[in-house]
Amino acid sequence: MIEAATKLEQAIEQVASQYYRLVILVGAPASGKTTALQSVAQKLSCQLLNVNLELSKKMLELTRTQRSRQVERLLKEVIASVPGDVVLLDNLEILFDTALELQPLRLLQVLDRNRTIVASWNGSFQGGTLIYAEPGHPEFIQFKQPEAVVVTVGKSVNH
Choose which CATH entry (1.20.120, 3.90.1210, 3.40.50, 2.50.20) describes domain 2-121+143-152.
3.40.50
User: Exposed/middle/buried for 157, CB within 10 Å: 0-12, 13-18, 19+?
Assistant: middle
Measure the CA–CA gap between 38 and 29, rounded to whole angstroms: 16
Q: Where are the domains of the chain?
A: 2-121+143-152
User: Exposed/middle/buried for 114, CB within 10 Å: 0-12, 13-18, 19+?
Assistant: exposed
Pick the closest to residue 10 from 55, 43, 50 (CA basis): 43
63-97 pLDDT, tens digit each: 989 999 999 999 999 999 999 999 999 999 999 99
Pick the closest to residue 86 from 158, 14, 3, 159 (CA basis): 14
The pLDDT, as a whole number, for residue 159 is 29
123-137 pLDDT, tens digit each: 999 999 999 988 898
116 C-beta neighbours (distance < 10 Å), count: 24
